[in-house]
Amino acid sequence: DVKVTQSSRYLVKRTGEKVFLECVQDMDHENMFWYRQDPGLGLRLIYFSYDVKMKEKGDIPEGYSVSREKKERFSLILESASTNQTSMYLCASSPRQNTEAFFGQGTRLTVV
């Protein structure tokens, strides 16, 4: 069974902390994505990667960075967490052709 695993289901962090969200996929997919989901705004793309050590900005990259040192792992980093980054974060992976994305269960991050 294919799987995308996010390291935490719930996180509470303080303003100014550096936050790491980890995502691992076991499908040997080339492409990986980080989205945030907020009510009424749908899924907004933060960053994506189509190969190891490659990364591209999505629509809302400000305040975030990513790392992809291995094909199966894609990390989202909040350099200095702020309250407006409180959200649900979803990681996804897909094969090169992007015909189907598989999502992790999400991390609900609260910044206080």
Interface residues with other proteins (CB under 8 A) are 31, 33, 35, 40-45, 48, 50, 56, 58-59, 90, 92, 94, 97-106
Q: Least distance from C-beta 32 to other proteins, angstroms?
A: 11
Q: Tell me how many degrees the CA angle 95-97-101 measures, rounded to the nearest 5.
A: 50
Nearest to 92, CA basis, from 31, 41, 50, 18: 31
Which amino acid does the sequence have at 71? K
Closer residue to other proteins in complex, CB, 85/93: 93
Q: Least distance from C-beta 76 to other proteins, angstroms?
A: 15
Closer residue to other proteins in complex, CB, 18/91: 91
User: Which tokens hold the place of 69?
Assistant: 């040192």
Strand spans (E) along 39-105? 42-49, 56-57, 64-70, 73-78, 87-94, 102-103
Q: Least distance from C-beta 14 to other proteins, angstroms?
A: 26
Three-state secondary structure call for residue 3? coil
Closer residue to other proteins in complex, CB, 77/88: 88
Q: Least distance from C-beta 90 to other proteins, angstroms?
A: 7
